[in-house]
Amino acid sequence: MDYKKYIAERIKIDGVVSEEIYSAIAFPPNTEMGDYALPCFKFSKILRKSPALIAEGIKNSYDCDGVISEVSAVNGYVNFKINKQGLTREVICEIVEKGTSYGSSDIGKGKTICIDYSSVNIAKPFHIGHLSTTVIGGSLYKIYNFLGYKVVGINHLGDYGTQFGKLISAYKHWGNREEVQKGGIHAINSLYVRFNEEATPEMEQEAREYFRLIESGDKETNELFEWFKSMTLSYVQKIYEKLNIKFDSYAGERFYTDKMQPVVDELREKGLLKESEGAQIVDLEEYSMPPCLILRSDGASLYATRDLAAAIYRKNTYDFYKCLYVVAYQQNLHFKQVFKVLELMGKEWAKDLIHVAYGMVSLEDGAMSTRKGKVVWLEDVISKCVEKAYAVISEKNPDADNKEKIAETVGMGALIFGALYNNKIKDIVFSYDKVLSFEGETSVYVQYTCARAKSVLAKSGTEGSLPGNYEPNAEEYEVIKTLASFGEVVNEAGEKYEPSLVARYAVDLAQKFNKFYIECKILTAGEDEKNFRLALTKATLQTLENALKLLGIGVPEKM
Ligand code: ARG
């Protein structure tokens, strides 16, 4: 149950809507004071009263019941204490009843969210830099689904541009079918790299010609291009499967080839297009930004032109409530420009376009630089994570059955969690040892906690039950309260585009459960306590599984 909502709905403040009260309710710094607190400072202006008086008034008119057992007013705050027994009963029952959907809601019902994420480039390596967009977008996808939204996952493929002319030229000179078929994306990428190193001016000219041929629909050139494209896609598909990621649309940049002219026309009609050194631009000086390039002097479109067409297409096709772009912060300016141009075109929905920016990921040994040609392919990082997970598991539990399968779940989990645990805007340095530690704030720790819970439940042979009127002790109550807040956390993660909140929640819940596990006997406790503690263990397991699932992470049977 949403306690914040419960409380907010029972408070009346003149001139303030219930949503505003809801969002003001917070956790007090110390749980002795209460479980929830409403600071009254911001209502002071509207009511022309001191916060202390307002708090006092709210306290006096609030009716306590089986849910909220105590209300106090202190220094401009109203503190609410939840009825422990009531909360305990309610949380456990709700988790049992809802199971895998515990924490979900229907807040997004009837609304569509588009998420542009991963958005790989054809014939280019899928490297560690793509990890964040893929797992952040993938997790947001699951979170919004869980919140009742219809979600459209879009892979805005980088499949447009002169580089494909280059690739075809390189293939014609140096490639052959069998080798490329066998080497897949690596072979294509080597051809492209070789072109950039060795191409003669004639080949450059030829490449432009090939690009033109792709554009004009020439059969042979397009077949080659489609072949490279399908090879890239089947390669990334395997990675997506391992990461538990899916897309509803692969409409890439090329898809917008015939959808850009109407945008250019509209810009011109609205008087937004300006000529500058032969190119067509939208001047954004007034907004302290460099101009947004729409057409080059040779008439060619640009990345921004295709994004303008894509945004309009998405609005028309999906009528989105929000459209998110999960793209590194290096593209901050690009999205600011695109969003601004749409706003200037009078698209009132431009405000619903959101650039969900994130920081850089590098490996501990600094092996990320593309300039040195030392690209780290994501598939290698994946293999290494799983291999290392295998070693870690073998050490901890040498006789475990199915070690390969466990290592896969643990290794992939560690990789995903490592990329999701920090606030997304931070640059992160990825360390295999850190993400695979049993002790730290890791998925391994959370998965291990799940395995521990499973083993306790298996030993008891039951899932516990709730004794009538159970008064939880301090450790138990901490777990209960954390369980109760899961739905709020998921909601906040959606509102802030921040899956890390769910990752952090999982660690927090696991820590509280482990504290309880160490302090309280389960299987050897008295009948009522034992039953309750088993039920609490089961509820924790369910909630941890739900949280991990929102991140795209599974839980092994044993560890
Ligand atoms: N393919 C681009 C890149 O790798 C990312 C595309 C992001 N999405 C977009 N609509 N611009 O940089």
pLDDT tens-digit readout, 118-129: 999 998 888 888
Mutate to test the pocket of ligand 1, among 331, 335, 356 (most ligand atoms within 8 A of CB): 331
Q: Is 43 left (phi over 0), alpha (psi -120 to 50) or beta?
A: alpha
Mean pLDDT of the chain: 93
**158 CA from centroid of ligand 1 (Å):** 7
Find out whether the beta carbon of 121 lies less than 6 Å from any atom of ligand 1.
Answer: yes
- DSSP category for residue 124: S
Question: How many of the other CB atoms lie within 10 Å of CB of 438?
Answer: 12
DSSP 3-state of 524: coil
Find out whether the beta carbon of 222 lies less than 6 Å from any atom of ligand 1.
Answer: no
Q: What is the pLDDT of residues 34-66, one digit of tens each?
A: 999 999 999 999 999 999 999 999 999 999 888
**For range 453-478, the mean pLDDT:** 93
Q: What is the pLDDT of residues 140-162, one digit of tens each?
A: 999 999 999 999 999 999 999 88
pLDDT at residue 368 tops 70: no
Ligand 1 atom closest to Cα of residue 327: 7
DSSP state letters, 404-446: HHHHHHHHHHHHHHHHHSS-TTS-EEE-HHHHT-SSSSSHHHH
pLDDT at residue 369 tops 60: no
Amino acid at 78: V
CA distance linking residue 315 with residue 263, whole number of Å: 14
As given in the structure block, the two tokens for residue 268 are: 């011109």
User: Residue 95 in contact with residue 543, Cβ under 8 Å?
Assistant: yes
pLDDT at residue 370 tops 50: no
pLDDT at position 323 is 98
Mutate to test the pocket of ligand 1, among 126, 127, 156 (most ligand atoms within 8 A of CB): 156
**154 CA from centroid of ligand 1 (Å):** 11
Q: What is the pLDDT of residues 485-540, one digit of tens each?
A: 999 999 999 999 999 999 999 999 999 999 999 999 999 999 999 999 999 999 99
CA distance linking residue 265 with residue 479, whole number of Å: 60
pLDDT at position 337 is 98
pLDDT band at 373 (very low <50, low <70, confident <90, very high): low
Angle at 167 between CA 334 and CA 248, to 5 degrees: 55
**For range 186-203, the mean pLDDT:** 92
**400 CA from centroid of ligand 1 (Å):** 43
Find out whether the beta carbon of 103 lies less than 6 Å from any atom of ligand 1.
Answer: no
pLDDT at position 2 is 78
pLDDT at residue 366 tops 70: no
Find out whether the beta carbon of 3 lies less than 6 Å from any atom of ligand 1.
Answer: no
pLDDT at residue 425 tops 80: yes
Find out whether the beta carbon of 325 lies less than 6 Å from any atom of ligand 1.
Answer: yes
Q: What is the pTM of this model?
A: 0.91
